[in-house]
Each structure stands twice: as structure tokens, then as C-alpha cells.
Amino acid sequence: MINAFAVSNYRSLKNVVSPLSGLNVVTGPNGCGKSNLYKSLRLLADTAKGNLIASIAQEGGLDYTFWAGPEKLTNSMRDGAAPIEGTAKKSNTRLRLGFVGKEFGYAISLGMPAPQGFAGHRDPSMFQFDPEIKRECIWAGDVCRPSSCLIDRVGPVVKVRSGRKWEVYNAHLNSYESILNEISDPVAVPEVHAVRQTIRHWRFYDQFRTDPQSIIRTPQIGTRTPVLDHDGHSLVAALRTIHEIGDREALYGAIEDAFPGSTINFEADASNRFVLQFLQEGLLRPLNQSELSDGTLRYLLLVAALLTQGRLPCWY
């Protein structure tokens, strides 16, 4: 369970703090920032996988993830009476991401490195546009304050609280490494381990393809699938896993809810590729996954995603 999520200076999101409950639905008009919220969550998840800097680079670099508008938007600019102009101050801008989980909270801030001035360096780095991790904190409870902070990383220095004192755990952390990847001792620093494990369990399902060529519509080798893949290609194996070891009642209940009188069955072909059989009232033969409508397939994917997740957070 994630109790809150916060993001600052990510594209159109200047400062968003969002309390979360068991199920959260984000709606709003076109261009209001729904996908930006989702993408920022994804960046946070990438931190625990060691992919944060690479993911930001994929988005075009940290500069591109900052607000592309002027620093100050006057009322007349807003009304269209004056042209949009001004400077986009980026020098000290920080991308900040954070969340509050059941026991611990975590926050990270990133910024651009100071310009290194090629002239003075004999061997200047070619990675001068890689963002730097400026600060990371892990705290106990809902709010990060000096008294609740357990781990504080400022630049290369990581300090860990030990009773009333702070101890330097590492003074030379690379600017591109997160504490979530670099500190792996679950006994000495259990908080880092706990936060890393929490984030690693997040799943993102926004890549379900239901077009005729989609891999989801083809028979797949079936192995036990306790967690549906992010692109849903193991759908039939995941549904079968729920049938065998998961919440079978919820599975068939969800199908009956959406398609009264319908149910599913499973078949394996000679090479153990699983084929779904969707038995629908009024039809003489079951339909397989290649024949289902886009909506039906999507619904089954969401059911499989939710029922294979248990109570772990997932985003669609």
C-alpha cells in the first residue's frame, strides 16, 4: 500500500502531492497531466531497478523533463492578451519524486551537474548531460522531518542514523547511483532494503496491445505465472495460475459480472502452448484469444493483472 505520492518539476507537474487509497482513478481533460503523473511514478520505480538516469535520457534528458514554459505566467499571458515570454530558469531546478509507504517514506531529487568547463580538464567526461542525484532520504512514518529521517544522502555522502547520532555509511557514492542500488546490506541498513523491495513490487500495465498482431492473441508456452507480465503476453498462463492456486472464485465471479452466462476454459496444444477458451452464451463453440473483442481481451487482462498481484500496488 502506498499512502502518498509526490512529484515536483516533472513536465507539467510543478508540485503535486497526492494522498492515495486502495484504488485511485485519475481522470481529467486532455493534456491535464494524467500521463505525466503516471510517468513520474514509473521513473520512481526505475530508481529501484538502477535505470533512473537511463530512463530520463530516454525522455530526452533532464532538461526536457522540466517545465518548458516561462518561470512566471502573468494573468495577461494566461488570457492571451500578452505573448508567452520570459526565461525558463533551469540552473537550480530539481526533479523531485517521493512516496510514503506502510512503514517508510522515500524521496529523491535530481539536478544537472555544474558545468565542468572543458578547457581546464585534461580528460573531460562526455557524460556531462547526465543528471546527478543530489539528495535521497528515507524516513519512518508519514512525514520527513529531521527527527524521523533515518538515511540522508547529500551528494556523495550517505549518512545513517544510529540512535541519536549520524554515522557516515559511504562518503563516495557516485552521483549516478541511487542508495537503493548501492546499499544492499539488509542487516545494517534494513530501511533501504525495505524501500527497494516495496518499489520493485510495483507493476505497470499500460502496454496491453489488443490489435490482431498482438502477441497476447497468440498461444504462449504455459508456465506458472504468479504475476502477469507488463505487456500481458502470459495472459492465459496467468489466468490458469489463478484458477489453480489463486482466487478462483473472484476470477469466475469477475467474468460472470461482465459477461453473464459466459465462462473460460483452458487447453494446451501438442507443444504445451496454452489456448484460452471463452465460452459465450448463444455460440456453438468456444472462442480463443485471437477471436475475442478488444474490450473483452482488455477486461481479462485487467482481471489477470489484479488477481495475480494480490495486494501489491499496480498502475494501469
List contacts with ligand ATP (CB under 6 A). 11-12, 28, 30-36, 64, 66-69
Q: Taking the complex as a whole, how short is the minimal distance between the CB of residue 57 and ligand ATP, in angstroms?
A: 15
| Identity of the residue, 34 or 248, whose beta carbon is nearer to Mg ion in the bound complex | 34
| Stretch of 26-34, 177-185, 238-246, 263-271 lying at the interface with Mg ion (CB under 5 A) | 26-34
| Identity of the residue, 11 or 153, whose beta carbon is nearer to ligand ATP in the bound complex | 11
Tell me the Cα Rg of the chain.
24
Q: Are 206 and 315 a contacting pair, CB within 8 Å?
A: yes
| Identity of the residue, 26 or 188, whose beta carbon is nearer to ligand ATP in the bound complex | 26
Least Cα distance to 95 among 175, 176, 10 occurs for 10
Q: Taking the complex as a whole, how short is the minimal distance between the CB of residue 78 and ligand ATP, in angstroms?
A: 15
**If contact means CB under 5 to 8 A according to the sort of partner, which of ligand ATP, Mg ion, none does residue 10 touch?**
none
**If contact means CB under 5 to 8 A according to the sort of partner, which of ligand ATP, Mg ion, none does residue 88 touch?**
none
| Stretch of 30-38, 57-65, 210-218, 270-278 lying at the interface with Mg ion (CB under 5 A) | 30-38
CB-based burial, 118-127: b 16+ in 10 Å, e otherwise: eeeeeeeeee
For residue 33, the one-letter residue type is G
| Identity of the residue, 25 or 114, whose beta carbon is nearer to Mg ion in the bound complex | 25
- State the number of binding residues for Mg ion (CB under 5 A): 2
* Residue indicated by cell numbers 507488463: 230
Sign for the pseudo-dihedral over CA of 182, 187, 188, 193: positive
**If contact means CB under 5 to 8 A according to the sort of partner, which of ligand ATP, Mg ion, none does residue 11 touch?**
ligand ATP
Residue nearest to Mg ion according to CB distances in the complex: 35
Contact between 35 and Mg ion (CB under 5 A)? yes
Q: Taking the complex as a whole, how short is the minimal distance between the CB of residue 96 and ligand ATP, in angstroms?
A: 15
**If contact means CB under 5 to 8 A according to the sort of partner, which of Mg ion, ligand ATP, none does residue 259 touch?**
none
CA 182/CA 179 separation, integer angstroms:
5
Q: How far apart are the first and last CA of the chain?
A: 16
Q: Are 136 and 143 a contacting pair, CB within 8 Å?
A: no
For residue 31, the one-letter residue type is G
Q: Taking the complex as a whole, how short is the minimal distance between the CB of residue 138 and ligand ATP, in angstroms?
A: 28
Distances (CA, A) of 58 to 181, 261, 306: 20, 46, 29
Q: Taking the complex as a whole, how short is the minimal distance between the CB of residue 121 and ligand ATP, in angstroms?
A: 30
**If contact means CB under 5 to 8 A according to the sort of partner, which of ligand ATP, Mg ion, none does residue 30 touch?**
ligand ATP
For 301, phi and psi rounded to 5 degrees?
-65, -45
CB-based burial, 16-42: b 16+ in 10 Å, e otherwise: eeeeeeeeeeeeeeeeebeebbebbbe
Query: What's the grid cell of residue 39?
Result: 510517468
| Identity of the residue, 40 or 225, whose beta carbon is nearer to ligand ATP in the bound complex | 40
For Mg ion, the binding residues (CB under 5 A) are: 34-35
